[in-house]
Chain A
């Protein structure tokens, strides 16, 4: 009985921290409409700052807390809203999800640059270890204060949202941004205020839990997944239900530590550690289950979405030339590169393939997945298991296994859309990382992989294998280009634009989503298998969330609707291993090792590119393509031939003709505005 009370109290303390973190998430989401994936990272940075102030600079904890919670954290939230999130108006759901993930990754990469991870840091429980007797068990003062703080936060938020002018305006923005504006309130101000408040709550949660989790960048950042699970119970909008969710999760975790039986012997003998895996995976399991259980809005028409993203229909000739160039360059360059750089070049193709898996899924079909690297991990495992002695069956097994898991995981996720789908796939990815890939029976630390052999065709040399990877990427890439031009490609694009219209025309969204999820997982599985074959090693370390984030960021930053975008993203990621090597060893700039510093700065690049999507949602490959086409058009002297096979979204007429010459789409927008169709324009031209 005492044990039960003990674990209940511990659970409630955990729950209090989750509640504080989750309520910050909910306040930001309901007011600004943007799900702050970086919530945990903001808490992590704040906690490190707190350590710096209190331990590093000997500041009193109360003053440090005041400076962080009232000054730095809210200011950061305010600035993030003003500078980054404000730019997300009229962008697709994918962009609105990826930009905060960019911010998460930026903070995750930045923190170890400021606070070197090699140093051991401790945050003592702020409110002391003095013990009190509660219901017959000993509780520290820190634990009591944490619970009290959660209660104060709950009451404070209730007061703010219902009794103050700013709070009412924040709630009004949720209902109707336009109406709030018409009534004299400023939605921009409300949204900035919610970001400030959210950041402050993230900081508070981080500081409160630091004594339990330790000052560790990734652990503190990923604590936010627990907050996601709690917030989803409240459907990201209800604060009371969010607090309930936090309570359930805190208690479940605490009871699991106290009462979950050990793994049965028959499982342990087979290298499966079920109990420990389940304990660490409780938050993601809860997140996944709740996502499937909470009722979701039915399909509704939302009118034609005018998004800033361009929809691209790739042209065949250009794609063929592009693929030929990729293979040609690889053949030539692979004879010149060092072995290490050759492997890095090969990794570029593996990453590009994994990113390519997002093109049909996200680029064409509008479905979001944060689990692509997990499918790649399944591919790596399959090739290690069935590809022994160079059997090409390993690659086939990788494709089939990943597709099968992709379809199985898609089944429950089919009814989810947007942010809920993103969270469900994230939960799956973290589950695979924590509970599956770590098992002795799966990777067992790491597995050796032999490279496939096709009859007499030997791929044992790095050069031969990298050329094979280039050909594989181009073949799959061509398939994806043809897919976009096919019936299925049109279906995917239609599903992205209006699921409601698709259903009323007779399209089964379930089948379409299932097919595209399986296809996408298969491509990622192939990418993972090739990566493992290239390295001759399948290791779970390659497929964790920390590696998954830059893959998603660079895929979208490269251009998620373009095959060239994935190539751009893949090689950008691979170049991080090559480029710093060009700086001579031992060079110093202002006392810093130039190679290491540059290497560290490169780590920030995916984040910067991800965040920059707010301003350029089409991605880099699209922009480069536009520039190249512009130059080509000028060289050809604007003969009108070879018009780009690309349809651009309309622009606001207010932006026309101010500081640049009119483009075709500007004229089309004016035509639309004036209600002119080709017939009228043609007649007018003839009469002239």
Chain B
């Protein structure tokens, strides 16, 4: 059974269907990609999964439980974490404090001490050099790592990563991709929204493609790359040359 299941989810903003009957799933221990052109509804779907937006139709299940009606923080406490396309760091706190705040949020289950979890995430994401700087003065690349680390200290089972490579240069992107792959190898489920197709093809075991709010293809990277509908969604429908 997949760890995260989105079944037949629709979201309406006024008269606009931002997401229409979308269905996808993501497993623990692997990176699942969610790609699509701008405005396809990827971030909206993320907002539905973590509870920031309510769907007009459809269900979200996590570890077999229906979590559609639960609040955002309750979902997080079940082990669902996310990063944001537009960075959402606590700008007036230092990088270390950002991690501490997240690690200190109480949970029912017993976990390692705050300091241990924070140290592990600092080590894993390489935050040492800028640990004591204020979060709104670090570079975008550093900030992406801090958001990831901040999500990791909550010990999530599923991470929703929203365009983590945007604003990063190629070496930073590669480094980030390796990190995600390592985390997945350690058992974390990752659902990755990303525009950098080479990154997606490299780290994802399965990919879903969203266009105009609908899932138009799902499969391995090779299958998705060969899918005509995907090609059309990205490149447009070929027009017959006038004869």
Contacts and interface: CB of A to CB of B under 8 A. Distances in A.
Tell me, yes or no, whether A binds B.
yes
Interface of A: 298-307, 311, 487, 490-491, 493-494, 496-498, 500-509, 647, 649-650, 665, 668-669, 671-672, 675, 677-679
Interface in B68-103: 71-73, 76-77, 81-82, 84-94, 97-98, 100-102
Contacts of B90: 493-494, 497-498, 501
A645 to B, nearest CB: 11
Contact of A306 (B84, B86, B97, B136): B136
B89 A501 contact: yes
B176 to A, nearest CB: 15
A494 B101 contact: yes
A300 B43 CA distance: 11
Contacts of A299: 52, 72
Name the residue in B72, B82, B133 with the highest tally of chain A Cβ atoms < 10 Å from its Cβ. Answer: B72
Name the residue in A304, A487, A500, A506 with the highest tally of chain B Cβ atoms < 10 Å from its Cβ. Answer: A506
Contacts of B226: none
Contacts of A677: 129-130, 138-139, 142
A649 B52 CA distance: 29
Interface residues on B, range: 35 or more
B168 to A, nearest CB: 11
A98 B5 CA distance: 46
A503 B50 CA distance: 9
B134 interface: yes
A506 B142 contact: no
A498 B92 CA distance: 10
A508 B81 CA distance: 14
Contacts of A672: 137-139
Given A304-B135, A647-B134, A677-B139, A498 B104 contact: no
Contact of B88 (A303, A668, A679): A303
Contacts of B120: none
B142 A505 contact: no
B126 to A, nearest CB: 10
B104 A490 contact: yes
Given A494-B101, A506-B107, A304 B136 contact: yes
A500 to B, nearest CB: 6
B53 interface: yes
B93 A650 contact: no
Contacts of B142: 677
B86 A303 contact: yes
A507 B143 CA distance: 21
B86 A508 contact: no
A497 B102 CA distance: 13
Interface of B: 47, 50-54, 71-73, 76-77, 81-82, 84-94, 97-98, 100-102, 104-105, 107, 129-130, 133-139, 141-143, 150-151, 154
Contacts of B107: 506
Contact of A507 (B52, B73, B93): B73
Nearest to B147: A501
A617 B143 CA distance: 26
B151 A498 contact: no
Nearest to B84: A301
Given A506-B154, A507-B73, A300 B52 contact: yes
A298 B52 contact: yes
Given A504-B82, A505-B81, A679-B129, A493 B92 contact: yes
B222 to A, nearest CB: 33
A493 B93 contact: yes
Given A505-B150, A650-B137, A490 B97 contact: yes
A505 B72 CA distance: 9
Contacts of B87: 303-304
Contact of B154 (A505, A509, A649): A505
Given A494-B101, A669-B137, A675-B139, A500 B52 contact: yes
Given A298-B52, A490-B101, A505-B81, A311 B92 contact: yes
Contacts, number: 133
Contacts of B101: 490-491, 493-494, 502, 505, 507
Contacts of B136: 304-306, 649-650
A504 B133 contact: no
Contact of B130 (A650, A665, A669, A678): A678
Nearest to B86: A303
A304 B134 contact: no
Given A491-B101, A498-B90, A506-B105, 20 more contacts: A299-B52, A300-B52, A302-B86, A304-B88, A305-B91, A487-B100, A490-B101, A491-B104, A491-B105, A496-B92, A500-B84, A501-B88, A502-B101, A503-B71, A503-B73, A503-B76, A505-B150, A672-B137, A672-B139, A677-B139
A649 B137 CA distance: 8
A505 B52 CA distance: 12
9 nearest CB pairs, A to B: A311-B92, A506-B76, A303-B86, A503-B72, A501-B88, A497-B90, A494-B90, A494-B101, A679-B129
Nearest to A665: B137
A301 B51 CA distance: 13
A649 B133 CA distance: 11
Contact of B102 (A505, A671, A679): A505
Contacts of A503: 51-52, 71-73, 76
Name the residue in B52, B73, B129 with the highest tally of chain A Cβ atoms < 10 Å from its Cβ. Answer: B73
A235 to B, nearest CB: 15
A346 B143 CA distance: 48
A525 B28 CA distance: 51
B76 A304 contact: no
B109 to A, nearest CB: 12
A506 B73 contact: yes
Contact of A678 (B92, B93, B102, B129): B129
Contacts of B73: 502-509
A505 B91 contact: no
Contacts of B84: 301, 500-501
B104 A298 contact: no
Nearest to A486: B104
Nearest to B131: A678
10 contacts: A302-B86, A311-B134, A494-B98, A497-B93, A501-B90, A501-B150, A502-B101, A506-B73, A668-B137, A672-B137
Contacts of B92: 307, 311, 493, 496-497, 647, 649
B129 to A, nearest CB: 4
Contacts of A298: 52-54
B34 to A, nearest CB: 17
